[in-house]
Every structure is written in structure tokens, then in C-alpha cells.
Amino acid sequence: KAGVTQTPRYLIKTRGQQVTLSCSPISGHRSVSWYQQTPGQGLQFLFEYFSETQRNKGNFPGRFSGRQFSNSRSEMNVSTLELGDSALYLCASSPKTGDEAFFGQGTRLTVV
Amino acid sequence: GEDVEQSLFLSVREGDSSVINCTYTDSSSTYLYWYKQEPGAGLQLLTYIFSNMDMKQDQRLTVLLNKKDKHLSLRIADTQTGDSAIYFCAESVLGNTPLVFGKGTRLSVIA
């Protein structure tokens, strides 16, 4: 069974631009969560989607948004990028909310 | 609120046992997880324990849970160089993500 797939793996963007990251969950998993990992703040929860609905949201500004499609694939978008948005963005999928989460390899975003 | 604490570094010799400790604060936590992260990679789920259990063993891994002290530990028997990584403890309330992670413990295995 294929694992969680995140694309792209690496991304370099300029301040002020926007970016879209993609996550394909494990087949049959309907819950997708996103986390930001930085050396200073560690792993922080961004949001969780289940059946195309946002179930939980972390404490991030409105520049961070996401969505989930009918096939459970999810995207997250960051607008007006700031240097501090440079991080590893990790996606995790679960069969349903509250089940154990399986993570993808992450997308490393660098904002210059 | 939820908070998970871990020591930042641990160094052990190859073949010894490693014990990584974690404390959590949420008294309603139902799932407690251990994840492993190797350089440049995502998080690999190693094992998890329900809060109504005291111990769980899976091959070289043993998880111990002390609910009274809100203390969780991960023991790796016969530690190998391939076990060098960052280990994250995480807690989650049943039916209510998100996972709350500790800062991670960097395990270095000396040959």
C-alpha cells in the first residue's frame, strides 16, 4: 500500500509570493492533517480535514489555508509568504479523525 | 492545556539500551505516540499506547506509561547505529486531533 505522498519535496519562493502544497493520503484514509516543523517552534498543528470539511484549526494566521477534495487529497496554501514561513510542512493521514496518523516525507519550503 | 516535554539529547553506545523519556500534562489524553524522524525525512510512527495500558512491547521497543506521574518512556533494546534519529513523543485525545508533540530527543548511537 502506498504511503502518504507530498509534492513537491522542495520549494524555494520569494517573500510576498504564494505557494500551494499537495498531499495524497494513504488509500482509504479520509482524514488529512497538516503540521509545520521549524527548529525553533518544533511541530505545530495547522489544520485537519475530514470528508472535505475542516475539523480542527491551529493557531496560524489566515494566510494559511487548506482544502480537501472528494478523493481525500488535500492542498494547503500560504499567501504573502514571509521569511518565517520557511519550514518543513508535513502532512499526515488517518482512516478517520483520532486514529493513528501516518506522515509523508514533507515539503521543505524556503522563503528568500 | 496540553504540553509535552522531552529531554533534547541522549547518547548511548551501540548494543546498550536507550531510554527516552517524556512527560505530558493533558489528563484526558487517550493515545500516546512515539515517532522517529531521520535526517531529511518525515515522521515514522514507531508505536503507540492507550492510556488504559501500562506497558506495550514490540520487538526491540518497550513503552512504559505511568499515568499517575504522566510519564511515558520508550526503551530501545540493543541500540544500533541505524537508531540514530530524533524521537518525538506525542499525545492526542480520543476522537480529537491534533497531535501535540514534544520538541524531540536526538539520539546519538556511538559505535
Q: What's the mean pLDDT when you consider all of chain B? A: 91
C-alpha–C-alpha distance, residues A103 and A93, integer Å: 7
pLDDT of B79: 98
pLDDT in tens, B79-99: 999 999 999 999 987 656 688
List, in order, residues 6 or more apart from A72 with CB less than 8 Å away.
A25, A29, A30, A32, A93
**Which is nearest to A106 in space by CA: A92, A93, A94, A85?**
A92
Question: Is B96's CB within 8 Å of A97's CB?
Answer: yes
Cell 505557494, residue located: A19
Question: Is B43's CB within 8 Å of A103's CB?
Answer: yes
pLDDT at B1 over 70: no
C-alpha–C-alpha distance, residues B106 and B11, integer Å: 8
pLDDT band of residue A69 (cuts 50, 70, 90) is very high
pLDDT of A98: 75
pLDDT in tens, A26-38: 999 999 999 999 9
Cell readout for A82 is: 514571509
Chain B nearest C-alpha distance from A34 (Å): 9
Contact call for residues B37 and B85 (beta carbons, < 8 A): yes
Contact call for residues A72 and A65 (beta carbons, < 8 A): no
C-alpha–C-alpha distance, residues B60 and B75, integer Å: 8
Q: What's the mean pLDDT when you consider all of chain A? A: 95
pLDDT at B29 over 80: no
Question: Is B33's CB within 8 Å of A103's CB?
Answer: no
Cell readout for B70 is: 504522566
pLDDT in tens, B7-22: 999 999 999 999 999 9
With beta carbons under 8 A apart, name residues in chain B contacting A6: 42
Of all residues in chain B, the one with the smallest CA distance to A105 is B42
pLDDT of B52: 84
Q: Long-range contacts made by residues A57-61, C-beta under 8 angstroms, separation at least 24? A: A58/B98, A60/A36
- Choose the closest CB to B101 out of A31, A43, A100: A43
pLDDT in tens, A5-16: 999 999 999 999
